[in-house]
A and B are shown apart, each in its own frame.
Chain A
């Protein structure tokens, strides 16, 4: 059974720092991996989707990498801003789970001005 973990559970950084969020999954048989952000009391906003054949995806200050063989993905945020404060979740779509995703518990990020 696929399990997804995210380390750290919470992170606090000063504004302007570059930072890395980690996502690990136990089974490398996945179609893709998706990163989301969630603001308090809100739904999830899709940030990046990486297909299993890809190594990374970039959107603005965000860069997500995928190492499927080792079961790891990282989300790199450059020049962090207070507006980046949110919970970041990763989700994988296993090949043996139909069209469903398995989510990690999230990393709560605080960027201090």
Chain B
């Protein structure tokens, strides 16, 4: 069966510090991968998605970036965090093509102070 991991679970970082969040998927190959942000009391905002290694598409211009160094690894990064980057970050995966379900990881709670 497939499993999706995210770490860390929680993170408190000062403004201006760097960020690296990691997501890995087990039990599948060549998945589509997604990063979402969920701000307090708001819906899910798609940040980045990837259909393959090194292929990243950005939905929202901001100071965040994403990378996919391996087939089942997706990393969200920032060089300098802003207060507005605080939120709940969710990684998700879905099988390529077709008409499949999307599956979510447990999330990372980021607080920028």
Task: Give the interface of A toward B (CB within 8 A).
Answer: 31-32, 34, 36, 41-46, 49, 51, 89, 91, 93, 98-101, 103-106
Contacts and interface: CB of A to CB of B under 8 A. Distances in A.
Contacts of B100: 49
Interface residues of B, number: 26
B105 to A, nearest CB: 5
Given A99-B49, A100-B49, A105 B42 contact: yes
B32 A43 contact: no
A86 to B, nearest CB: 14
Interface in B75-113: 88, 90, 92, 94, 96-97, 99-107, 109
Given A103-B43, A104-B43, A105-B42, A46 B107 contact: no
Contact of A42 (B49, B51, B106): B106
A100 B35 CA distance: 11
B56 to A, nearest CB: 13
Given A99-B97, A100-B49, A46 B102 contact: yes
Contacts of B11: none
A91 B102 contact: yes
15 contacts: A32-B99, A36-B104, A43-B6, A43-B105, A43-B106, A43-B107, A44-B90, A44-B92, A46-B104, A89-B44, A91-B102, A99-B51, A99-B97, A100-B59, A103-B43
A60 to B, nearest CB: 16
B94 A99 contact: yes
Contacts of A46: 101-104
Contact of A106 (B32, B43, B88, B109): B43
Interface in B51-66: 51, 59
